[in-house]
Amino acid sequence: MACGVPLSAYSRFRFEEPESQPLSGMHVTAIVLLVLIVAVVITMCMCKKSTAYKASGRVFASPGGSPVELQSWEEFQEATSQDDRCVVLGYADWCGHCQQCKPAYEQAAKQSKTPFYQVNCEKAFTAEQMQQLGIQGFPHIVLMSKGNVLRQHSDERTVESFTQFAAS
């Protein structure tokens, strides 16, 4: 039963819009800075040249970028068979030598125009597949062409050594 007094008469039931206040100089500066940051990020993303290429529909390598992690025997075969020349690091998670050489390998990949791949052999390959590739220890670093091993890396595990190996 209504008592005749509208709800808007009570202060807690008033639905008035708050008065808008002008933006302070600090707010304007923050908004302008945010807009500039977004513009810079968008520009950087649009200007960054993509060096990725596709092999049978999948993107595998980015010369001048980080090494591409191959997840399976099939990816390994597909990626390495497409390249005239590529460097592959076969590693195992538990291998201390692999962990030590990975930073130099990644840096060399960024400096090289040759595709660099890496594969966790224990997860991606069977024992027979590792034997087929001649993997007897880790890290196993090879230069490949069209799916065939050209030679195995046997020098120091440095950026310079990996870069020279990729160019040889």
What kind and span of H or E run contains 139?
Answer: none
* Residue pLDDT, tens place only, 44-77: 655 543 344 444 445 565 677 889 999 999 999 9
The larger pLDDT score, comparing residue 35 to residue 161, is at 161
The 3-class secondary structure across 50-86, one letter per residue, is: CCCEEECCEEEECCCCCCEEECCHHHHHHHHHHCCCE
* Residue pLDDT, tens place only, 79-136: 999 889 999 999 999 999 999 999 999 999 999 999 999 999 999 999 999 999 889 9
What is the model's pTM?
Answer: 0.64
pLDDT for 8: 57
Q: Give the C-alpha separation, 161 to 71, whole Å.
A: 26
Query: Tokens 């049978």 map to which residue?
Result: 56
pLDDT for 50: 37
DSSP state of 20: P
